[in-house]
Amino acid sequence: MIRNLWHRQDRAYGFRSPDKLLEGHVLVHNHIRHTVDMPDDLNGFRCWTQMDNKEELIRCGCGWRGVEHYRLRALGDDKSYTWEEIMRAAYDGDDAA
C-alpha cells in the first residue's frame, strides 16, 4: 500500500511501497540517475503518484522497483544504473548524475 508522506498540488510524494494506486493515478519518477531499487529522496531521486496524463508522461522501461511506472516525457531515459556508474558520473562531473 502506498503511504503518502506529503502532498503538493495534485501529486503525492514519498511512500514506502508502490503496491496500490488510487484509480486513475500512476507512479512517476524524475530524471535523476537511479538504481533499480533506489528509494525515494536519495541522491535527488524523487517519485510520486499523480493522475495519468498522456501529454506529460511516458511509460518508463528502466525496471525501477519492478512495477509499471512513468517518467516525464521531456526528461530522462529508460535506464537504471549501478551505484558504480552513478558514482563515476558524479566524480567525472556529469550534471545528470
Per-residue pLDDT tens digits for 33-72: 888 888 888 888 888 888 898 888 999 988 888 888 898 8
Q: Classify strands 70-72 and 25-29 as parallel, antiparallel or unpaired.
A: parallel
pLDDT at 13 over 80: no
pLDDT, mean over the chain: 77
Q: For 91, phi and psi rounded to 5 degrees?
A: -65, -35
More confident of the two residues 16 and 86: 86
pLDDT at 17 over 70: no
Q: Average of pLDDT values for 6-25?
A: 62
Judge if pTM exceeds 0.95. Answer: no
For residue 57, what pLDDT is reported? 92
Distances (CA, A) of 31 to 18, 49, 76: 18, 15, 4
- pLDDT class for 80, splitting at 50, 70, 90? confident
For residue 1, what pLDDT is reported? 36
Distances (CA, A) of 64 to 40, 68, 81, 82: 11, 8, 10, 12
